[in-house]
Amino acid sequence: MDINHLTLLTDLYELTMMQGYFKTGNDETVVFDVFYRDNPSGSGYAITCGLDQVIDYIKNLSFSYDDIDYLRNQGIFDEDFLEYLAGYHFTGDIYAIAEGTVVFPREPLLKVKAPIMEAQLVETALLNIINHQSLIATKASRVVYAAGGSGVMEFGLRRAQGPDAGTYGARAAVIGGCDGTSNVLAGKCFDIPILGTHAHSWIMSFDDEYHAFRAYADLYPDSCTLLVDTYDTLRSGVPNAIRVFEELRAEGHMPKHYGIRLDSGDLAYLTKKARIMLDEAGFPDAVIAASGDLDENLITSLKSQGAPITSWGVGTKLITSADCPAFGGVYKLAASKPKGADEFTAKIKISENPAKITNPGNKTIYRIYGKEDGKIRGDLICLVGEHYDESDDLTIFDPQATWKKSTLAGGTYTMRELLVPIFIKGQCVYKSPSVMDIRSYCKDELNTLWDESRRLVNPQEVYVDLSMPLYKLKNELLDANHKK
């Protein structure tokens, strides 16, 4: 059994619908959008992530003999449909927003344009991949923001919901801004820094704490961070660490990177006392690292109390996004085109809940920036084929409260189309950057947000508006449905 072969990573109803399309001869081309409705963790934004795995999934999407035999044994699929699946490969187009991009609710993160059977099959896997990795990248960006320039290490593997969540979650966390991960497999797979010190068991395996520290320092002379809270942080741990540092200094072998780590207790009080002790001993550049069920809120609290922590190890609450464990992305039909037709027909999902009414049509997104400061002024969802001239005045409006408008004078703004081609006619036309390059890009992306939109509590929402042609189309479809 190969759980890394993802073709059957789908819900049964995707396959039963596919057989329905097959049996009824439905071969229309459709457009599906992946989007989400609410930012996770009360954030003012999200970070899109997972595109590289999506590419790998689509490239390797095919049914093996074992897959076909398994489906045959379910007794619900006909042989002619199974024969179709045996020759299946993706032939459509996929457009997506690049990984590491700041994104907002209701805008398509990814768009599939393909024959309906092909587009239907990929729904579940795309959501599984994008939802999880975007969630962790967003959470990581909040933790890193709270740390305020201090280093953040992701080390939640042992608490993640399985190997894939731990490994791809580590990748997403680094994209979101973490300096590295404790996950060695993630380091190997994605060429990202691996970081770590030692556990309490290392200390406990020696007769005393001093000899444990000294042995570790001798083994790793260039990077020595000692865990000081195994027995008594201030009366034993920190004094023994200082003793080792003094010996190394006297021997002329001070590590390039050295310091202490605390994993328990009152981190604000203990780190303040530890800082005084280290400074008085002549080690003002010693790092003080902290870990222990940290998240952006606890980090913010510790910093407000003046805790002199210079490095943060964040595990459980990051890798699981403990306060918001689901991203909530959805996959909705937006347009269809019968075989031989020239134009797409827009489709809309209607709900009594206004937030669940979809934006119809074959769409793209333009991001609008202030020309002088480079900050985001808003995003504009529009129909493919609409064109804008940055020298013209541009009026954007809130599609829910249309009286809220803003006019940007020509020449004062720039626009960037966010959706880029990934697959065209089944062929990949996009090369993913390295994870560390995506991390740098993500950092630049976050700097395009106003501070008011980055704050952790009650952030200012970024405007996501509809173009006038799209707004009119949406209302026409709503009116037409009302008259039925």
Same domain, 264 and 384: no
Domain contains 431? yes
Q: What's the rounded Cα separation, in Å, for the pair 438 and 444?
A: 10
Contacts of 163 (CB under 8 A, 6+ apart): 185
Same domain, 129 and 46: yes
Same domain, 265 and 337: no
Domain contains 449? yes
Per-residue pLDDT at 340: 82
Per-residue pLDDT at 483: 66
**CATH number of the domain enclosing 399:** 3.20.140.10
Q: Into how many domains does the chain fold?
A: 2
Same domain, 245 and 340: no
Domain contains 5? no
Same domain, 132 and 272: no
Per-residue pLDDT at 481: 81
**The dihedral of CA 34, 39, 41, 46: what is its sign?**
positive
Residue numbers of the domain that contains 263: 197-290
Of the candidates 348, 388, 347, the one whose C-alpha atom is nearest the C-alpha of residue 366 is 388
CA 466 to chain centre: 25
Residue ranges of the chain whose pLDDT lies below 70: 1-4, 483-484
Residue whose structure tokens are 């032939």: 91
Predicted TM-score of the model (pTM): 0.96
Domain contains 236? yes
What confidence tens digit (pLDDT) does each residue in 428-441 have? 999 999 999 999 99
What confidence tens digit (pLDDT) does each residue in 190-239 have? 999 999 999 999 999 999 999 999 999 999 988 999 999 999 999 999 99
**CATH number of the domain enclosing 220:** 3.20.20.70
Instruction: Judge whether 169 and 47 are in contact, CB under 8 Å.
Output: no
Same domain, 354 and 435: yes
Same domain, 387 and 476: yes
Same domain, 346 and 465: yes
Same domain, 345 and 476: yes
Same domain, 130 and 216: no
Q: What's the rounded Cα separation, in Å, for the pair 43 and 142?
A: 8
Same domain, 369 and 452: yes
